Amino acid sequence: MLEQFALRIGKERYARYFEPAAHARHADEALQIVVRSSFDADLLNRRFGAELRTVAGESLGDVQVQWVVDPGAFAADEEPERVPETQTSGVGGLPPRRPAAPSAAPAGASGRGPRYRLDDFVVGESNRLAFTAAERFVDEPPPLHGLSQLFIHGGCGIGKTHLLNGIAARFREQNPTARVSCVTGEMFANEFISAVQSKRLEAFRKRYRSVDLLLVDDVQFLAGKVKTQTELLHTIEALDLGHGRLVLASDEHPKRIDKLCKRLVSRCVCGMVARLDNPERGLRGQLAHRLAGVRGVSLEENAAHVVADVCAGSVREIEGAVVRLEAVARLEQLRVPVTAVLARRVLGNADLMRPRRPISVSQVAKTVCAELNVELSEVLGRGRHRLVVLARSMVALLSRELTTMSYPEIARALNRKNHSTIVTACQRLRRQMEEGGQQDAGPLQGLVQLTDLFQRLRDLIVRTAATGSVVSVA
């Protein structure tokens, strides 16, 4: 099989990239590709994954390709690393980190499947709905709740891939003989193109349409790819008829993905649609503690607060901050928890996210309208639809807090003759937030806490303005 694979990708490329970095073995009706690290698994899977699965299907039949991270398998080719015997303690009062155990990843999951488990997911208000939906999807069979399809959407680096791989891992634990395929939109598209070119389309369809669970990450990659969208649509319909289950993930709500065909959008929203938001401050602190603990670093509570204040965006930002703290702590050979003073010295202050220039009412209005799916002309007009009124109130209060404009200036910017309407809108929204009010914020947001929606919009406006990417709509 490997000889056919080498001929397919070229013997020179095989010898340069694949041969020294990977070993192949056949076990339990699966083709396992053993590599040294997750980095190697991700690199080789991106470059050769589609061709490898195609050749494996032609040579071995319907087998699953697994990427196994096992540094020990290459020990005979390398000199053993010498570890000083005096190293008995880790950073910040915790034991030193241990090498990761070898683990088999789901096919197409970039060798990272077992690393992400639902039990390790840190839950807060911003991700509770999506996490609960993921647990119910796995733990309760469809006849009990009808949840055979799940669509998770949210920004980059806030947990979509974690949830997808966590669902796949738990589903395999509960159903050891189940056929599970976990891929990205790019991988699905590349495999489809490869199958068409090699005239192996039937094998491709059989592999994807006969699984018990299909998980597709980064669906937005399929935007504009008409034939690939059609193939995914038919795959979803085949899974539905065969009682297969489906999980999709994207950076955007399916209705907001440009150049996604209406039939596929309709299929995406026919099941449970759950949104992941940027982590709130309390959750960011919990994540800082959890990620630090994984890396063998102990944080004081105030130090975690510093990380939470500085990293107001994605989980990846928090992880990056923890990596920097770990590096400094190891460099300075700390044996005590990282303090807030050290965290501020390493990470700086939250003031680093200050906007480069003053925020305008038009910038606030554009962001609010985009998030609530409301036309700017409606907010500036006389519309009294509940969603338009909510958007107008959010723009008024956010403008009052984030801009230097007075009530009369905000009123003029919102095409209002009398500033008393702006004052009333701000007072009403503040009162509703203090009372813990909720409101249906439209099909893209659903039922939300007004306080959470306000804070999310505020963070988005400030961070976007700080990066200088906002364009005025005036």
Give the Cα separation of 278 and 127 in Å (integer): 8
Q: Tokens in use for 357?
A: 């220039």
Range of weakest confidence among 45-59, 255-269, 380-394, 455-469? 455-469
pLDDT of residue 261 exceeding 90, the answer is yes
Confidence of residue 36 (pLDDT cuts 50, 70, 90): confident
pLDDT at position 435: 86
The pair of three-digit structure tokens given for residue 150, joined into one six-digit string: 């799940």
Q: First and final CA of the chain: distance in angstroms?
A: 62
Tell me the C-alpha distance between 306 and 92, whole Å.
17
Domain 281-353: top CATH class: mainly alpha
What is the pLDDT, as a whole number, of residue 314? Answer: 79
Q: What is the pLDDT of residue 87?
A: 36
Which one has a higher pLDDT value, 408 or 102?
408
d(CA 43, CA 105): 14
Q: Is the pLDDT of residue 25 over 50?
A: yes
Q: What is the pLDDT of residue 79?
A: 41
392-404 average pLDDT score: 91
Distance CA 407, CA 422 (A): 7
In sequence order, which ranges of 127-225 are alpha helices (DSSP H)?
A: 128-139, 142-145, 160-174, 185-197, 201-209
Q: Are 265 and 168 in contact (CB under 8 A)?
A: no
Cα distances (angstroms) measured from residue 436 to each of 112, 278, 449 = 40, 20, 7
Query: For the domain bounded by 116-277, which CATH number is listed?
Result: 3.40.50.300
Domain residue spans of the chain: 1-73, 116-277, 281-353, 361-467
- Of the ranges 136-140, 248-252, 470-474, the best mean pLDDT one: 248-252
Q: Is the pLDDT of residue 349 over 60?
A: no
Tokens matching residue 167: 């669902």
Confidence check: pLDDT of 310 > 70: yes
Res. 246 pLDDT band, cuts 50 70 90: very high
**Cβ atoms 13, 21 nearer than 8 A:** no
Judge whether residue 97 has pLDDT over 50.
no
Report the pLDDT value the prediction gives residue 71, as an integer from 0 to 100. Answer: 67
Query: What gap in Å lies between CA 34 and CA 68, rounded to an integer?
Result: 5
**Arch. (CATH architecture) of 361-467:** Orthogonal Bundle (1.10)
On the question of pLDDT at 390 being above 90, the answer is yes
State the Cα–Cα distance between residues 65 and 30, nearest whole angstrom.
6
Give the pLDDT confidence score for residue 143 in this predicted structure. 64
pLDDT over 70 percentage in the chain:
84
pLDDT confidence tier of residue 89, bands split at 50, 70 and 90: very low
Q: Which phi and psi (to 5°) does residue 381 adopt?
A: -95, -150
pLDDT bin (cut points 50, 70, 90) of residue 447 is confident
Looking at the predicted structure, is the pLDDT value of residue 301 above 60?
yes
Give the pLDDT mean for 104-125.
Answer: 64
Kindly report, residue by residue over 169-193, the tens digit of the pLDDT: 999 998 888 899 999 999 999 999 9
Least confident of 93-102, 110-119, 154-163: 93-102
Task: Output the pLDDT for position 104.
Answer: 37
pLDDT computed for residue 444 by the predictor: 65
What is residue 86's three-state secondary structure?
A: coil
Give the range among 297-301, 343-347, 460-464 with minimum mean pLDDT.
460-464
pLDDT recorded at residue 466: 67
| Rg value, the chain, Cα | 25
Domain 116-277 and domain 361-467 have a common topology: no
Which of the four pLDDT bands, split at 50, 70 and 90, describes residue 348? confident
Residue 18 in this model has a pLDDT that exceeds 60: yes
- What pLDDT digit, counting tens, does each position of 119-143 carry? 889 999 889 999 999 999 998 877 6
Q: Give the predicted TM-score (pTM) of the model.
A: 0.60
CATH 3.30.300.180 fits 1-73, yes or no: yes
Mean pLDDT of the chain: 81
The pLDDT value given to residue 472:
35
